Structure 1
Amino acid sequence: MSGISKAASKFGEMVGKSGAPVFIKSDNVIDLIIHDHNEAKALYEKYKQTQDKDSKMSICNSLIKKLVQHDEVEQLLVYPLLREDIGGSVGEGHYERSLHEHQDHRNLLYNVKQSDIKTDANFDQKLDEAMKSVLDHVKVEESEVLPLLREKISEDTLKRVGASFKAHKATAVTRPHPDAPAQGFPAAAANVVTKPFDMLKDFTEK
């Protein structure tokens, strides 16, 4: 496992003491990633089929929370495997591209979060733009990145990362923060510090 992944996973051990399981036999992280992708797609379809604006906003908030938490944990624990464990031009290329695309997601989802569905005539367009970026990213990830991880990374490592992946979601932010760090201990710490403020804002939206 990469140095960054080890550091992040060590942080996950501390998180796990609060009750979230870490470093136990768990789902393969690849399966967890695909599961998250499918849930996000389903929420987006539900949003598009809904007419009531209050209901649409509630679905949108759930969708953004799921995407943000997925991206934060994925870039903290999974993407370092591409650089450190796989390496080379292929691993490094996927690493850099994936982080760049996640930053695009942060920026676009932040724009959605700053908008009001009841007063912004371009709200749907903003969400559609964000989701196009997300779905394009998912397509490449599922067709190229995940098969590469499955081929090059041991099953045991993928399961261990999967356990940390699930545990870290307990501390991951729920709102997009475009200026927050994306890698290593600074990213993990930023999530822990920022999460309570996100939760308070989430509560006021209900």
Structure 2
Amino acid sequence: MTLSIAGRSAAELGGEGSILLRQRRDHVELDRLMNAWLAADATDPHRERLWQDIVQLVFSHAFAEETVLWPLLRHVTRTGERLTARVEEEHQAINGLIAKMERAGRDDPRREAWAQEAFALIREDIRDEEDELLPRLRETLSDRRLRRVGAAWEAVRRTAPTHPHPAVPRRPPGNAVLGVPLSGFDRLRDLAPVDSPAARRAASAAGTLLVASAAALLVRRALRRRRPGT
């Protein structure tokens, strides 16, 4: 029987720096932030800061998973394809909901319901990862390998996009080729958040242009690889 990582000790999960501990800490922090947002009054200005922290953590965390962890899981276990496909669907649904919220703005009356739906999906995603996916890594990788994967995952997370981009693929190499150019753009947005509808539309258009440019580069690279003699 697969044993969830939720209640296991640090030593059982590979020790300090293990990918399993890093993942669980992010999940605990996400849970704390979501509960704080739900408990805050709608007029509390701190609530918007909580929301930005949630968004940044959700998307940097998921991008690192899709870049580092899920390809590894598909490689080391026969059930990896099925398990990661389900989680990727959850990620895409969360991506779409939060993208709608960013386009609509903080005064949209639908925002509260969308946030509740996104939180439910995030909690489902956490359960799936801690109960099904991450235990498979514990079963197949040594403590040392878990710590090495943790370091790689952390490096990617720290340079990952921090906002939703539904057009970016969920798997390498497309997610890296399209996502990396968006990381710098997102982090500039985080330093100077856009509040007006016009600014949000401009930011969305700029993001779309970056995705399109990176996609064109990916296609050109693929075509060059297929040419005879190259």
TM > 0.5: yes
CA distance in 2 between counterparts of 1:190 and 1:63 reads 22
Deviation at 1:53, TM superposition (A): 4.2
Q: 2:31 aligns with which of 36, 41, 50?
A: 41
CA contact (8 A) 2:94 2:122 kept: yes
Corresponding residue number in structure 2 for 1:162:
150
- Whether the aligned pair in 2 keeps the contact of 1:46 and 1:59 (CA below 8 Å) is yes
Is residue 66–residue 172 contact of structure 2 (8 Å, CA) maintained in 1?
A: no
Structure 1 residue 98 corresponds to structure 2 residue 124:
no
**Structure 2: 5+ residue stretches without partners:** 1-14, 195-230
CA RMSD of aligned residues (A): 1.8
The match for 1:173 among 161, 181, 189 is: 161
Structure 1 position 79 matched with structure 2 position 75: no
Distance 2:35 2:187 in 1: 25
Matches within 5 A, 1:80-159: 80-86=71-77, 88=78, 90-117=79-106, 119-159=107-147
Deviates more, 1:58-67 or 1:96-105: 96-105
Letter paired with 1:59:
L
Show CA shifts across 1:107-134 (max 9, x none): 11212222322x2112111111011111
How many angstroms apart in 2 are the aligned matches of 1:115 and 1:53? 19
Does the residue aligned with 1:114 lie in a helix, a strand or coil?
helix
CA contact (8 A) 2:98 2:164 kept: yes
- Give the stretch that moved more between structures: 148-157 or 134-143: 148-157
- Correspondence for 2:184: 196
Q: Distance in 2 between matches of 1:194 and 1:92?
A: 27
Structure 1 length-normalised TM: 0.81
Q: Larger relative CO (CA 8 A, sep 6+): 1 or 2? A: 1
Segment of structure 1 superposing worse, 125-134 or 46-55: 46-55
Query: One-letter code of the match for 2:119?
Result: M
Larger-Rg structure = 2
Percent identical across equivalent pairs?
A: 27
Structure 1 unaligned segments of length 5 or more: list them: 1-24
| Alignment size in residue pairs | 179
SS in structure 2 opposite 1:205?
coil
Contact 1:26 1:163 in 2 (8 A): no
Following TM superposition, the consecutive aligned residue runs of length 4 or more in structure 1 with deviations greater than 4 angstroms are none
For residues 142-184 of structure 1, what are the alpha-carbon distances to aligned partners after superposition, in whole Å with 9 as ceiling and x for unaligned? 1121222111222222111100111112220010100012222
Alpha-carbon distance between aligned partners in 1 of 2:104 and 2:190, rounded to the nearest angstrom: 15
Normalized per residue, which structure has more helix?
1
**SS at 1:175 equivalent:** coil
Please report the TM-score for the alignment, with normalisation by the length of structure 2. Answer: 0.73
